Amino acid sequence: MVWDILVNNVGTNIRKTWIEMSDEESAAVFATNLHAPMELCRALFPYLKKGNRSAVVNVSSVAARVDVGSGAAYAVSKAGLEQFTRVLAVEWASHGIRVNAVAPWYIRTPLAEPVINNPGRLARILERTPMGRVGEPKEIAAAIAFLAMDKASFVTGQCVVADGGFLSSGL
């Protein structure tokens, strides 16, 4: 059995408000977070189409759904990635290619370090996260692995939120 898996696990951010951000900075965020995954999908489509049970998993963010103070460019680029995931899932289903996404909250990664290493910001994050902690990279890797497995063979066009309960918590 041939398995072909593409994981678009890319992200960058420039933590500025929309008004403060230059055209070049916003273009860089969009190029990395949205355009690069889109172009990789296009470039690898012929190979994925040859696979027997191919899967694409895009890594989004809860910032695609609610304001988490990450700035407009980051949030909109990740929201665009989620919509791209849904549309591509429909377009590619007839080719036997599943397309899904994972949307994490704060995960202990280099991109999140400046935020989670700030005691005040970390306290706010933990207060808003029912599980009371930030996530670990292996937890997101497990969600990605599930979406790439045959066990998820009827799952496409979905976004699995891995956020320690953040989006469900309300006030």
As annotated, the active-site residues are: 74
Instruction: Compute CA distances 118 → 61, 70, 92, whole Å.
Output: 20, 15, 42
Give the Cα-Cα-Cα angle 60, 64, 70 (nearest 5 degrees). Answer: 95
Rounded-to-integer distance, Cα 127 and Cα 125, Å: 5
Rounded-to-integer distance, Cα 146 and Cα 142, Å: 6
Contact 103, 147 (CB under 8 A): no
33 secondary structure, DSSP code = I
